[in-house]
């Protein structure tokens, strides 16, 4: 399937403010692009990219006094296959994990394994290790948290989401990641595009989405605690230990978000992007 995706985001500010953004698709999806993906700014300002320690494309620019609009649009080919269901996937013993995977067992800014460890072992200690255990965690988080855009805040952690029992997709992901790590299952945070094309009806305004990967049987598998069902059409943008590593934007000064539009649709007509 061909998917047309992109965004139009605007900020205002009263002074120049440096910005760091994860607003490109992840390099692992570059070969699937069927049109160019170029980040455009109005006004035109110098920008440049670098690859961070997690393999994400990071963009640096400075928002000029007054503000800026950042946008892109592209067409990408996607298999549109559902996320795999892997209850039989085995959990890798900690002593056999590759060195580079161990970081995804540790507590992080939004995933407080120390505060959630006792809860995790009381809930999931009796489950079958591996894919079945991850699915039990996903189901618990899905049922524990009520989705509500109005409850989103940048300081909310996995512990906060567990206790407040409401949040947005990143909170579902953070809590599931933290519980997996408590059970010695490496887990990493993912963010990107995911439209409603595989759903019977539109579920709300389009936004970027968050999910997570769990490391089982020597590879990463995708799980989604918000939806608790295999989804189709994910377009990865960034991943890391939690939203700290994969934040869409980090501003180094006072800015106000004044427009935020995201789209992800099937490209039925195959028209070139203007």
Domain of 141: which CATH number?
A: 3.10.620.30
Let me know whether 41 and 103 are in one domain.
no
pLDDT for 201: 66
Question: Comparing 154-168, 174-188, 203-217, which segment has the lowest mean pLDDT?
Answer: 203-217
- The predicted model gives 187-211 an average pLDDT of 86
Q: Is 221 helix (H, G, I), strand (E, B) or coil?
A: strand
pLDDT band at 148; cut points 50, 70, 90: very high
Let me know whether 73 and 141 are in one domain.
no
pLDDT band at 112; cut points 50, 70, 90: very high
Token reading at 113: 């394994």
- Strand pairing report for 166-167 and 146-147: parallel
- Residue 157 structural domain: 94-240
Degrees, nearest 5: CA angle 116-119-122 = 145
- The predicted model gives 234-259 an average pLDDT of 97
What's the predicted TM-score (pTM) here?
0.95
Domain count across the chain: 2
pLDDT(42) > 60: yes
pLDDT for 141: 98
Token reading at 38: 């170029």
pLDDT for 115: 97
Distance (Å, rounded) from C-alpha 169 to C-alpha 82?
A: 18
Residue 254, domain member (yes or no): yes
pLDDT for 197: 87
Let me know whether 47 and 160 are in one domain.
no
Neighbours of 241 (CB within 10 A): 21
Token reading at 43: 């006004």
Let me know whether 140 and 200 are in one domain.
yes
Residue 272, domain member (yes or no): no
pLDDT(180) > 80: yes
261 has which bridge partners? 8
b/e string for 45-73 if b means 16 or more Cβ within 10 A?
Answer: eeeeeeeeebebbbbebebeeebbebbbb
pLDDT for 272: 57
pLDDT for 274: 46
pLDDT for 269: 67
CB-count exposure of residue 207 (10 Å: 0-12, 13-18, 19+): middle
Mean of pLDDT over the chain: 95
- 231 close to 198: Cβ distance less than 8 angstroms: yes
Let me know whether 117 and 19 are in one domain.
no
Q: Please give the DSSP secondary-structure letter assigned to residue 206.
A: -
pLDDT band at 206; cut points 50, 70, 90: confident
Closest alpha carbon to 25 in 64, 55, 69: 55
Dihedral of alpha carbons 164, 167, 170, 173, sign: positive
């Amino acid at each position: 399937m061909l998917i047309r995706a992109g965004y139009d985001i605007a900020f205002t500010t009263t002074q120049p403010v440096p910005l760091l953004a994860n607003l490109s698709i992840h390099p692992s999806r570059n070969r699937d692009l069927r049109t160019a993906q170029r980040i455009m700014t109005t006004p035109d300002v110098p920008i440049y990219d670098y690859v961070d320690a997690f393999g994400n494309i990071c963009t640096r620019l400075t928002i000029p006094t007054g503000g800026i609009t950042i946008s892109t649009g592209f067409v990408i080919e996607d298999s549109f296959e559902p996320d795999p269901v892997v209850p039989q996937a085995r959990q890798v013993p900690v002593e056999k994990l590759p060195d580079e995977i161990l970081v995804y067992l540790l507590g992080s800014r939004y995933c407080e394994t120390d505060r959630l460890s006792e809860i995790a072992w009381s809930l999931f200690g009796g489950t079958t290790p591996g894919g079945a255990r991850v699915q039990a965690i996903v189901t618990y988080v899905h049922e524990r948290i009520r989705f509500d855009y109005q409850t989103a805040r940048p300081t909310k952690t996995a512990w906060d989401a567990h206790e407040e029992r409401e949040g947005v997709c990143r909170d579902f992901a953070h809590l599931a990641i933290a519980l997996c790590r408590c059970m010695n299952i490496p887990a990493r945070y993912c963010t990107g595009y995911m439209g409603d094309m595989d759903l019977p009806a539109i579920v709300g305004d389009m936004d970027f989405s968050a999910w997570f990967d769990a490391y089982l049987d020597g590879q990463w598998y995708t799980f989604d605690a918000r939806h608790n069902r295999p989804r189709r059409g994910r377009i990865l943008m960034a991943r890391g230990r939690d939203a700290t590593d994969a934040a869409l934007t980090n501003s180094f000064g006072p800015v106000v978000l004044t427009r935020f539009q995201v789209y992800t649709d099937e490209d039925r007509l195959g028209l070139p992007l203007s």
